[in-house]
Amino acid sequence: MSQEEYFTRREFLKAASVLGLGSTVLSVLGLADLAFASTHPLQYFKAVRDTKSLTALEKEHLINIRLPAIAEDGANVPIVVSMGHPMERDHYIKSIQILNFRDPVVNKGIYYFTPANGEAYISTQIRMDGGDAEIFVIAECSKHGKWIASKKLKVSLGGC
Amino acid sequence: MAEEYQFGQPKLRLPSTIQKGEVIEVKVKIKHPSRTGLRLVEDAKTPFERFVRERPAIYIKTVEVFYGAERISLFELNSSTSDDPLLAFKVRADREAPLKVVFTNNQGKRFEVTEQVRFRT
């Protein structure tokens, strides 16, 4: 590999400043969503975006997250994740994963299921850092891949 | 002086009436700490020095659910689960068999609880 294939320091700084300026311009123009879209975790998975007009497939893979709007104690935040998905031998929810990207420990557990569970449902308590947070839940269907949903909450006192 | 950790045997609760083929909610709780063992350094010079290890980490690593001989669920947890968690999940009660839940912590210690599923109306 020759030297020319690498960025020089000067070129890198120039590119970085252009990129930085670009995202600033986009956000100023009210296109913050466009600048944000490239890094948002929702885009890598299938998600139900419009809950008012659901298709049959979306209705099946709708993830219900029950969380308090304001959690008093971050050391013990109750969360319930449930899905109305069928649990048949060839079509079921394989796993549910709970994530919060703002916390020191991002992964809040992976819960694996089989058709013998009858329903993809988990109720647990998690530790969270204080402040505004967004909980992401990824559910894996054996036929239709990974689906994601999120819910926002506020934690009064951090419990990490 | 560091606080002493409290451990306890897990407890499993089934609904009082179970019909054949019904999807039942099973609740299981355990007295077990969930700690990273790290301490936050307020005046750290670099981000890499923000946490120092004070004690070994202790948390529940896996929870396995057996219905009869079959393993029907596996929950992989870490230190972000709360202390003394109460977990609830569903099981399709299609046969009378023992329901066993096995907790394993990161130090390899096992705690288990078994309850018989009986059809009652």
Contact criterion met (CB < 8 Å) for A77 and B91: no
The β-bridge partners of A26 are none
pLDDT bracket for residue B1 (50, 70, 90): very low
Residues of B in contact with A127 (CB under 8 A): 34, 79-82
Residue A59 domain-assigned (yes or no): yes
pLDDT of residue A111: 97
For residue A7, give its domain range: 3-37
Residue A133 domain-assigned (yes or no): yes
Structurally, chain A folds into a number of domains equal to 2
According to DSSP, the β-strands at A63-66 and A77-83 are: antiparallel
How many residues in chain B?
121
Same domain (yes/no): A7, A70? no
pLDDT of residue A5: 52
For residue A88, give the 3-state DSSP assignment.
strand
* Cα-based distances in Å from A51 to A36, A61, B16: 22, 11, 36
For residue A49, give the 3-state DSSP assignment.
coil
C-alpha A16, offset from chain centre = 27
Q: What is the mean pLDDT of chain B?
A: 92
pLDDT bracket for residue A3 (50, 70, 90): very low
pLDDT bracket for residue A24 (50, 70, 90): low
Q: Which residue has the higher pLDDT, A9 or A123?
A: A123
Those of residues 42-71 in B touching chain A at CB distance below 8 A are 51, 67, 70-71
Residue A51 has pLDDT above 80, yes or no: no
Same domain (yes/no): A11, A57? no
Same domain (yes/no): A21, A77? no
Contact A68, A78 (CB under 8 A): yes
Residue A109 CA to residue B62 CA, distance in Å, equals 10
Task: Print burial letters for A39-63: b (CB count within 10 Å at least 16), e (below 16).
Answer: eeeeeeebbbeeeeeeeeebebbbb
CATH number reported for the structural domain that contains residue A97 in this entry: 2.60.40.2470
Same domain (yes/no): A28, A80? no
**Domains within chain B, CATH numbers bracketed:** 11-116 (2.60.40.10)
Under 8 Å CB pairs connecting chains A and B tally to 93
pLDDT of residue A12: 58
Residue A12 CA to residue A108 CA, distance in Å, equals 37
Residue B81 has pLDDT above 60, yes or no: yes
Same domain (yes/no): A65, A116? yes
Q: How far is A42 from chain B (nearest CA, A)?
A: 22
Same domain (yes/no): A107, A73? yes
Residue A2 has pLDDT above 70, yes or no: no
Using alpha carbons only, give the angle B71, B72, B78 rounded to the nearest 5 degrees.
90
Mean pLDDT of A116-144: 94
Name which of B70, B82, B91 is nearest A126 (Cβ-Cβ). B82
Same domain (yes/no): A59, A99? yes
Same domain (yes/no): A133, A114? yes
Prediction ipTM score: 0.91
Residue A43 domain-assigned (yes or no): no
